[in-house]
C-alpha cells in the first residue's frame, strides 16, 4: 500500500498527497482525470472501447463507473494498486439516486414528505448498501430546481422551490457522506451545475437562458447549500448557460464555485459533455473542447476520452498550464485519501459485508415509512380511508407493476423484490379483492375493459391504479402532453360510470394534468413511484392504518399551456384581480384561470388542522435583529396526523422586483387527535437577502408581509418593517 498509516488530519492528508503528486509523471497525473464506464451497464452512449488492462497498469485511469460488486471492484482495484507504478487506487462510481438495493420513492416523491430526517436516513441506507458493493461515489444528489413538468428529470430533484431544495440538498449530502470516516460513507456529487432544470420547452440536453439574477436567487442556492454541507464533488451540466456550455463555463466553476464559495473539491463532467461542445458549436473539435473545459475548471472527464488524448501534449507545448493540472489531481487524490483508500484500497470490497448489508429489515422499514410520508392526498370526498369488509375491485396496469414501482435510476433494485399494491391489498383484505388490469399503460386495446367493469359492478369500491410507467420520466424522457398515457383516461371514466366510488392511486414521476381525471374519481392519492415497499405503504394509507401527510413540492398545472407555473412568480404591472374570472387588459388567459390545479405545498389529511393565534412578536427589526412568528396548531379531527406548517414572506417593495411570496420556513409536526402545539419560527435580516441589480447579495430595508398555513396560499398573519441601521 502506498500509505503505511491512516491519514488522521487534513494537514497529514495534504502532505502525503503533495508528496505523491511530486512523484507522478505528466501522463500519470492526466490519468487521474480520466473516468471510463464499464460496458456492462451503461447510463449513456459508450464513446469507445473499455479501458484495457494496460491502461490501468500504466496509471492512465483514475475512476471507473458502472462497475458494481465487491468482487468485481476488488479485482480491478488490485490491478491498479499492485500493478501500476505508484499504486494509486481507483474511484468506483455509480448513479445511486434514490436507493441502491432497497429502493426508496423517487426524489420528487421524497421531497413531498418534507421530512429532512427521513430523507437523510434514506441516503445513509443507500450509502451503506452501495459502499458494501464496492462503490465509493454516487452521482447524486440532483439539486436542479425544475419548474417545467414536461422535463423528465424533474423526477430526480426536489421540485420548484430553492428554500425547500436547499434544505433537502443538505440532508442528502449529510446522508451520503457522513464525516467520510467510515467505509459506509460515499462521496456525494451534486448535479447538474447549473440551471439544467431550466431547459427550454422541458427538453432534456437542451439550451437554457437564465438571467444572472435568477440564476443566483433560484437555481444556485441548493448547490451552495450542498457545498456548505461538505459536498466533495460536483458535476457540470449538459446545457449551455447564456451561450456557454456549462462544461466550459468558467463563470460557474471558477468565479462562483471556487472563488465566491471557496469550493475545494473536484468537478466531473457529465457523460461525454466535454466533447459534446463540438455539437454545441463552441468548440471546433475534441482538442479544443478539452482546452476549454480544462481552463474553465472541469477536473475529471467522464466518458469523453478527450483529456487523456490531448492534455499531455497541450501541457508540454505550453498551451495549458501545468499548475491547473496539479490542482485537479490534488483534489482527486485528496478525495481518495479521505475515503481511506490509500490506507486500505479494499475497505469497500468485502463480499461478506455486501451480502449482509442489502435489504435489511430496518432498511425496508425505512423505505416503507418514507413512501408513506411521500404520498399526497389530492382529493377525498369520503371514499378514503377504505372501510373494513368492503369488496374491492382493483383495476389498472400499475396494480401489480413491480418494475415500474422502482422508477428510473433503480441502481441494483430488483423487480422481484418489489411489493406491489395488489399483493399488499390482498394481504390486508383477504378474499375481498378482485383484480383486472383493464388495459396496458400505453396500449390502445380495450379488451380488458369487460372484466374490469364486471368486477367493478360486484364491488363496493373501485381502486384504480393508473399513471405513468418508470419509462415516462427520468433522463431522456420528456413529455409534451401530461395526461394519463394510452387509454387509461377512458378506463377511468368507464369505471366511474358504474356509479361505484372510485379511488384513484396515481403513479407518476412528475406533475400531471388532472382536469379530466378529477371529475372521474371520488378520491385521488398521488403515490409518485414509491420504490421497493410501494404496496405496503399504499395499503397503509388506503386503509387508514397511516394518515397521508405529503405536501406537493411542485405546482400542478391545469393544462400544459400554463407551464411554467410556480408559486413564487414575480408580480405583474397588470395583475388579474383576485376572484375575477377574467378582465381585459390584465395578465390572464382567455380559456383558463391563472391559478394552478393544485398549488405548491398542498396536501390533504384524514384529520383537520386549525391554525390559531398566529402573530409576530415585533413590528420592526434592525439589520442585526430577528423577528419571531408563532402559531398554535390544533388537530381538530378524530385521527392522529402530521401537518407541514409553512412560513412565507413577501417583500412589498424592492429595488428589483421580488416574488409575490417566498418559502422561508417549515416544520412537520405530529399531533394526536385533539392535541394542540405552539410553534415558533424566527426570521433574521439575512433570511431576507436577495440579489440586487449589481449582483450583490444582501437584505434591503422595507416592509414585509408574513403568511402562515398549510400550503403556498397561506393567509397573511402579520407584517413587519426591516429598518436600515
The catalytic residue positions are 270
Q: Residue 627: what are its φ and ψ, rounded to 5°? A: -120, 135
d(CA 457, CA 499): 9
Q: Residue 616 corresponds to which cell in the numbers above? A: 409576530
Whether cis (ω within 30° of 0) applies to the bond prior to 284 is no
Q: What is the DSSP track for 270-317?
A: -TTTTTTHHHHTS-SSHHHHHHHHHHHT--BEES---HHHHHHHHHHT
Q: What are the strands of the beta sheet with 461-467, ordered from one edge? A: 376-380, 523-526, 502-507, 461-467, 392-395, 433-436
Whether cis (ω within 30° of 0) applies to the bond prior to 194 is yes
| C-beta separation of 561 from 589 below 8 A | yes
Task: Report which of 691, 679, 624 is spatially closest to residue 647, judged by C-alpha positions.
Answer: 679
d(CA 300, CA 71): 25
- For 58-136, where are the alpha helices, taking DSSP H only? 70-83, 107-111, 116-132
d(CA 631, CA 611): 7
Residues 6 or more apart whose Cβ sits within 8 Å of residue 365: none
Q: Residue 613: what are its φ and ψ, rounded to 5°? A: 55, 40
d(CA 177, CA 701): 39
Nearest-10 Cα torsion for 346, 348, 349, 353: 130
d(CA 565, CA 557): 7
Number of Cα atoms under 13 Å in the Cβ half of residue 100: 31
Residue with cell 415509512: 369
Nearest-10 Cα torsion for 192, 194, 200, 203: -10
Q: Residue 372 corresponds to which cell in the numbers above? A: 408513506
Report how far Cα 609 is from the mean position of its chain's Cα atoms: 29
d(CA 157, CA 111): 8
Cβ neighbours around 261 below 10 Å, total: 14
Helix (H) or strand (E) holding 716: strand 716-722
| C-beta separation of 13 from 7 below 8 A | yes
| C-beta separation of 144 from 153 below 8 A | yes
Compute and round to an integer the Cα radius of gyration of the chain: 26
Helix (H) or strand (E) holding 703: strand 702-709
| C-beta separation of 138 from 188 below 8 A | yes
Beta bridge partners of 632: 612, 678
d(CA 109, CA 48): 36
Q: Residue 651 corresponds to which cell in the numbers above? A: 417583500
- Beta strand 716-722 with 620-621 is parallel
Q: Residue 526 corresponds to which cell in the numbers above? A: 398521488
Reduce the DSSP state of residue 702 to 3 states and report it. Answer: strand
Amino acid at each position: 500500500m502506498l500509505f503505511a498509516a491512516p491519514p488522521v488530519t487534513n494537514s497529514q492528508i495534504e502532505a502525503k498527497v503533495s508528496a505523491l503528486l511530486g512523484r507522478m509523471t505528466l501522463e500519470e497525473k492526466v490519468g487521474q482525470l480520466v473516468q471510463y464506464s464499464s460496458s456492462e451497464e451503461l447510463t449513456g452512449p459508450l464513446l469507445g472501447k473499455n479501458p484495457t488492462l494496460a491502461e490501468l497498469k500504466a496509471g492512465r485511469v483514475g475512476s471507473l463507473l458502472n462497475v458494481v460488486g465487491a468482487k468485481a471492484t476488488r479485482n480491478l482495484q488490485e490491478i491498479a494498486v499492485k500493478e501500476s507504478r505508484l499504486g494509486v487506487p481507483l474511484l468506483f462510481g455509480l448513479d445511486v439516486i434514490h436507493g441502491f438495493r432497497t429502493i426508496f420513492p423517487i426524489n420528487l416523491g421524497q421531497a413531498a414528505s418534507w421530512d429532512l430526517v427521513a430523507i437523510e436516513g434514506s441516503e445513509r441506507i443507500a450509502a451503506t448498501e452501495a459502499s458494501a458493493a464496492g462503490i465509493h461515489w454516487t452521482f447524486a444528489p440532483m439539486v436542479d430546481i425544475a419548474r417545467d413538468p414536461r422535463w423528465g428529470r424533474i423526477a430526480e430533484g426536489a421540485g420548484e422551490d430553492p428554500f425547500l431544495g436547499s434544505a433537502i440538498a443538505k440532508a442528502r449530502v449529510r446522508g451520503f457522506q457522513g464525516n467520510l470516516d467510515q467505509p459506509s460513507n460515499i462521496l456525494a456529487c451534486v448535479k447538474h451545475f447549473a440551471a439544467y432544470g431550466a431547459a427550454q420547452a422541458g427538453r432534456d440536453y437542451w439550451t437554457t437562458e437564465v438571467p444572472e439574477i435568477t440564476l443566483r436567487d433560484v437555481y444556485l442556492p441548493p448547490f451552495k447549500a450542498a457545498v456548505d454541507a461538505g459536498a466533495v464533488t460536483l458535476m457540470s451540466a449538459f446545457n449551455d448557460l447564456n451561450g456557454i456550455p456549462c462544461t466550459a463555463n468558467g463563470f460557474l466553476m471558477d468565479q462562483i464555485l471556487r472563488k465566491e464559495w471557496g469550493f475545494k473539491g473536484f468537478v466531473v463532467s457529465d457523460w461525454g459533455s466535454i466533447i459534446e461542445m463540438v455539437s454545441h458549436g463552441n468548440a471546433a473539435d475534441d482538442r479544443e473542447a478539452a482546452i476549454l473545459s480544462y481552463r474553465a475548471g472541469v477536473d475529471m472527464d467522464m466518458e469523453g476520452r478527450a483529456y487523456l488524448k490531448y492534455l499531455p501534449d497541450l501541457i508540454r507545448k505550453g498551451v495549458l498550464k501545468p499548475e491547473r493540472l496539479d490542482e485537479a489531481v490534488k483534489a482527486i487524490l485528496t478525495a481518495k485519501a479521505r475515503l481511506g483508500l490509500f490506507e486500505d484500497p479494499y475497505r469497500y470490497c468485502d463480499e461478506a459485508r455486501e451480502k449482509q448489508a442489502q435489504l435489511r429489515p430496518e432498511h425496508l422499514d425505512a423505505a416503507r415509512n418514507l413512501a408513506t410520508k411521500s404520498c399526497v392526498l389530492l382529493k377525498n370526498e369520503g371514499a378514503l380511508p377504505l372501510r373494513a369488509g368492503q369488496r374491492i375491485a382493483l383495476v389498472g396496469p400499475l396494480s401489480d407493476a413491480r418494475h415500474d414501482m422502482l422508477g428510473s435510476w433503480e441502481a441494483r433494485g430488483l423487480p422481484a423484490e418489489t411489493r406491489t399494491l395488489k399483493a399488499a391489498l390482498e394481504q390486508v383484505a383477504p378474499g375481498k379483492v378482485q383484480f383486472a388490469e383493464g388495459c396496458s399503460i400505453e396500449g390502445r386495446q380495450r379488451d380488458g375493459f369487460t372484466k374490469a367493469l364486471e368486477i367493478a359492478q360486484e364491488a363496493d369500491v373501485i381502486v384504480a391504479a393508473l399513471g405513468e410507467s418508470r419509462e415516462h420520466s427520468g433522463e431522456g424522457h420528456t413529455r409534451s402532453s401530461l395526461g394519463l398515457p394510452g387509454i387509461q383516461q377512458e378506463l377511468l371514466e368507464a369505471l366511474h360510470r358504474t356509479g361505484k366510488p372510485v379511488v384513484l392511486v396515481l403513479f407518476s414521476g412528475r406533475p400531471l394534468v388532472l382536469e379530466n381525471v378529477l371529475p372521474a374519481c371520488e378520491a385521488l392519492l398521488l403515490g409518485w413511484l414509491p420504490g421497493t415497499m410501494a404496496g405496503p405503504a399504499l395499503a397503509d394509507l388506503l386503509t387508514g392504518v397511516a394518515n397521508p401527510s405529503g405536501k406537493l413540492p411542485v405546482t400542478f398545472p391545469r393544462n400544459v399551456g400554463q407551464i411554467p407555473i410556480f408559486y413564487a412568480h414575480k408580480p405583474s404591472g397588470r395583475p388579474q384581480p383576485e376572484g375575477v374570472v377574467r378582465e381585459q387588459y390584465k395578465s390572464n388567459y382567455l380559456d383558463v384561470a391563472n391559478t394552478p390545479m393544485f398549488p405548491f405545498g398542498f396536501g390533504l389529511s384524514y384529520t383537520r388542522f386549525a391554525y390559531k393565534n398566529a402573530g409576530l412578536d415585533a413590528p420592526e427589526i434592525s439589520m442585526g435583529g430577528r423577528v419571531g412568528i408563532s402559531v398554535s396548531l390544533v388537530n381538530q379531527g378524530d385521527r392522529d396526523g402530521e401537518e407541514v406548517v409553512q412560513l412565507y414572506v413577501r417583500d412589498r417593495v424592492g429595488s428589483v422586483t421580488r416574488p409575490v411570496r417566498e418559502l422561508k420556513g417549515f416544520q412537520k409536526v405530529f399531533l394526536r387527535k385533539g392535541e394542540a402545539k405552539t410553534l415558533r419560527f424566527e426570521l433574521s435580516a439575512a433570511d431576507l437577502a436577495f440579489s440586487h441589480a449589481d449582483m450583490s447579495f444582501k437584505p434591503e430595508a422595507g416592509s414585509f408581509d408574513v403568511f402562515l398555513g398549510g400550503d403556498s396560499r397561506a393567509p397573511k398573519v402579520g407584517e413587519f418593517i426591516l429598518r436600515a441601521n
